[in-house]
Amino acid sequence: MQLKVGHIFINDIQFGDQTEVKDGVLFVNRQELEELLLEDEHLASVQLELAHPGDSVRIMPVKDVIEPRVKPEVEGGIFPGLVGRMFTAGRGTTHVLKGVGVVTTGRIVGYQEGIIDMSGPGADYTPFSKLHNLVICAEPVEGITPHQHEASLRRMGLKAANYLGEAGRLLTSDEIITYETLPIPEQHAKYADLPKVAYVYMLQSQGLLHDTYFYGVDVKNIVPTFMYPTEVMDGAIVSGNCVSACDKNTTYHHLNNPVIHDLFKRHGTDLCFVGCVITNENVTLLDKQRSSDLTARLVEALGVDGVIISEEGFGNPDTDLIMNCNKIEAKGIKTVLLTDEFAGQDGTSQSLADGSPAADAIVSGGNANALITLPPMERVIGSVEPAEVIAGGFKGNRREDGSIVVELQAIIGATNELGFNKLTAREY
């Protein structure tokens, strides 16, 4: 399966009379987009704001971040199964408005939404401070349930990203990168002398607002499945969860998964990237056993020498991570695990809820319990009211000068378990 990704570099975003890209600037018709989003009967109000790198702006509580993309040969937007038409993702051509993010915020859904600071020390911990962001602050109608609220915000963000993506449909890309994965037998034959590597992609699926969607299907309802890595770049996987902000995989993270991109860079040179196995993170022991059994069996059937396994979340999913590791290693296949740590504010607590001697190659995304002081900002998009109740916050953490003391857990992407961050840890 071959996918050509065309990057259209955006250097600024502004409101304008019509939505279009001119000389590297994305202009957005504010009224038109607001009216489109308010077609959702569950939303009482929608307000669009802009936030640029270096601005004295705090965005919170953040639900999701999405990158605008469009497939010129496909009517409608990407994200098959959720908005737009159903199609097989991962092939053909996709245009990307590179440097732009759609950020959703508003009244808190659960308690694990997070913070994006566009400047100051907090900006160093989130990749989204480097984007020109269209921020959608939405308030739900009264009487809405948390699940209806989450679904409305999810659809809202995807619709907005598709709307902006349309501005790139007919443009010529500044850069085109081609990605290709052959069918498994052809991969093995073409790269017979290279070690075969697969990617086990664990997706949050514990329910209670901890959900991820694959072609529109809640991942808790699937069994481990093979997918082409280019499908991920085309919106086949969408975030729908409200897990801790630090290691939540937003939809932007999925679209730009660095594990997939790094494996593609080495594909055909010093390894053969066979493809992805997506699997869920479960709540009950029986479900964990089933998924890890099937994951190991599918990995074995791919005929690979090693796998990279990434986790999403912490605590309960640590068990899924170690089960996958143990069962794959037992088949003689080497594993490397990607996770983060919750080692306490002083770094001396147990980092993971589970462990194994077989887990002898682990890459850490950093300690999510480390404290940081976020200075006051001139403007807040959303509300600072949830600062004490979001994961990583605590009572009394808001100071009179407008600064906030939080754990890194509260910052979107701070300890991301795909490696989409700056932090790690080393054992001495």
Burial label, 175 (beta-carbon count in 10 A; 0-12, 13-18, 19+): exposed
Helix 316-329 vs helix 285-301: crossing angle, to nearest 10: 40
Is 242 an annotated catalytic residue?
yes
Helix (H), strand (E) at residue 290 = helix 285-301
Residues 6+ apart with CB under 8 A from 369: 342, 343, 344, 345, 347, 349, 407, 408, 409
Name residue 264's amino acid: F
- Show the tokens assigned to 78: 């990407």
Give me the numbers of helices (H) and strands (E) for the chain, helices first please. Answer: 8, 25
Q: Which residues pair with 381 in a beta bridge?
A: 59
* Cα angle: 267, vertex 246, 421; to 5 degrees: 40
Q: What is the residue type of 251? A: T
Catalytic residue among 137, 242, 246, 325: 242
Q: Torsion angle of alpha carbons 112, 113, 119, 123, nearest 10°?
A: 50
Residue owning tokens 């730009």: 256
Instruction: Name 153's Cβ contacts closer than 8 Å, sequence gap at least 6.
Output: 63, 64, 104, 106, 109, 138
Q: How many CB atoms lie within 10 A of CB 225?
A: 16
Considering only CA atoms, which of 277, 328, 337 is closest in space to residue 305?
Answer: 328
291: nearest Cα among 354, 223, 356, 338: 223
DSSP alpha helices (H): ranges in 117-257?
A: 146-165, 184-190, 229-233, 251-255
What is 111-122 written as a DSSP string? S--EEEESSSGG
Closest CA to 101 of 247, 232, 251: 251
Positions marked catalytic: 242
